[in-house]
Structure 1
Amino acid sequence: MSTTPEILGLLIKRVQDRHHRQLDEALAPLGVSLVQWNALREIERNPDASQHQLALLSFNSDQAFGALTSRLIQRGLIVRQNGPGRAVTHQLTPAGKSLYLQGRDIHAKVIAKSFAPLDAAERDMLDGLLGRLLESEA
């Protein structure tokens, strides 16, 4: 009997939930949550992105991302800048860049450990399968 789509969806969600819990725990000594660190990562990766684009990239609503960036500004981790038109862009401060880099090392270790049971060929296969799902209009 083949695995149902429902079971596959639950398994993907369980892996994602495990990643979130482990990353929140591992990042806590830095004084940052996964949600906060992910915002720093997307700001670093997308320096000219609007607040709306960053909200989408970090899996937040526009309102939630706005509140999140306000807290990051208060902590001195990012600054807002006027972008083209009415857009607002964000940039990491030196403190934000340092926190992002520390968290990047932690993130890499947690994710590597999570996928360690898979060999390179299995990781490539999983990448291909998940990529196909994301490319489809299902």
Structure 2
Amino acid sequence: MDADLEFLGRAVKQAQYRQHRALDSALGEVGTTLAQWDALRAVSYRPGASARELAAATFQSEQAFGALASRLAAQGLVERSPGHGRRVEHRLTPTGEQTLAAGHQVSQKVLEECFSPLPSADRATLLGLLRQLNGEESLAN
């Protein structure tokens, strides 16, 4: 294996790890965690989505997302309701929307700091390269 590819893979992982740690720490100040906020974000983008769809959007197994969604429902952040067949649909509560909004404010500050070493043009280039690498039109999951 090309050593440069190993360094590249490790550098991507290191940047992600640093960002996740900073986000998780800062989100704690508004009463949530990165996993919870990411789930709220996914539910917000896909109201009425199933646990399967939301698990995929948050890079979790269905079982892990189901447990997280149960905790979010117990905290009054998400409503779960029966859908077609065995499907369970998810929607944010007003409290969930408030938590999501507070998380957006926190994440904006954290991400600005995480990406501050890069000029705007380099950030745009990086985003374009990651979209190309992931074969995606948008990374707004």
Q: Report if TM-score (shorter chain) is over 0.5.
A: yes
Partner of 1:64: 64
Gaps of 5+ in 1: none
2-structure distance, mates of 1:84, 1:115: 43
Partner of 1:33: 33
Q: Identical aligned pairs, as a percentage?
A: 44
Partner of 2:46: 46
Query: In structure 1, the residue corresponding to 2:47 is in which secondary structure?
Result: coil
* Residue type at the aligned position of 2:103: G
1:35-93: CA deviation from partner (whole Å, max 9, x where unpaired): 01110111011113211010011111100000001111111111102223432111111
**Superposition deviation, residue 22 in structure 1:** 0.4
Partner of 2:127: 127
2-structure distance, mates of 1:94, 1:62: 25
1-structure distance, mates of 2:96, 2:74: 12
| Higher normalized contact order (CA 8 Å, seq sep 6+, divided by chain length) | 2
**Superposition deviation, residue 3 in structure 1:** 6.7
2-structure distance, mates of 1:42, 1:115: 23
1:84-128: CA deviation from partner (whole Å, max 9, x where unpaired): 343211111111110110011101111111111111211121112
Partner of 1:16: 16
* Residue type at the aligned position of 2:84: P
* Residue type at the aligned position of 1:96: G
Backbone CA RMSD of aligned residues: 1.6
Partner of 2:101: 101
With normalisation by structure 2, the TM-score equals 0.89
Aligned length: 135
1:7-46: CA deviation from partner (whole Å, max 9, x where unpaired): 1111010111011110111011222110011101110111
- Comparing 41-50 with 81-90, greater Cα deviation is found at 81-90
